[in-house]
Amino acid sequence: MHVGIASPEGDFVWHVAAMGTATALCGQSLHAEPLEERDRTDRHCTPCMSSFQQLMNDRR
């Protein structure tokens, strides 16, 4: 999990990071954000969470 900006809203959300890349499952590039920004959100990226759910379902 990695905090980043949700496009196009510009709010900070938690993204699911793709393994071995600096990209989230939704395609968003991930960059280091200030720690205080990480503390300000409990929101999650809906496209990332949908992709993660699909990946888990595919493993069944």
Confidence at residue 38, expressed as pLDDT on a 0 to 100 scale: 56
Confidence at residue 7, expressed as pLDDT on a 0 to 100 scale: 67
Q: Split the chain (60 residues) into runs of 10 and give each run's mean pLDDT.
A: 78 88 89 65 90 91
Domain extent for 22: 2-58
Confidence at residue 47, expressed as pLDDT on a 0 to 100 scale: 92
**DSSP per-residue codes, 4-60:** EEPTTT--EEEEPBPTTSSBBTTS-B-----HHHHTT---B-HHHHHHHHHHHHHT-
User: In whole angstroms, what is the distance from residue 51 CA to residue 60 CA?
Assistant: 15
Confidence at residue 58, expressed as pLDDT on a 0 to 100 scale: 93
Confidence at residue 16, expressed as pLDDT on a 0 to 100 scale: 93
Q: Is 44 exposed, middle or buried (0-12, 13-18, 19+ CB in 10 A)?
A: middle
Tally the domains of the chain. 1
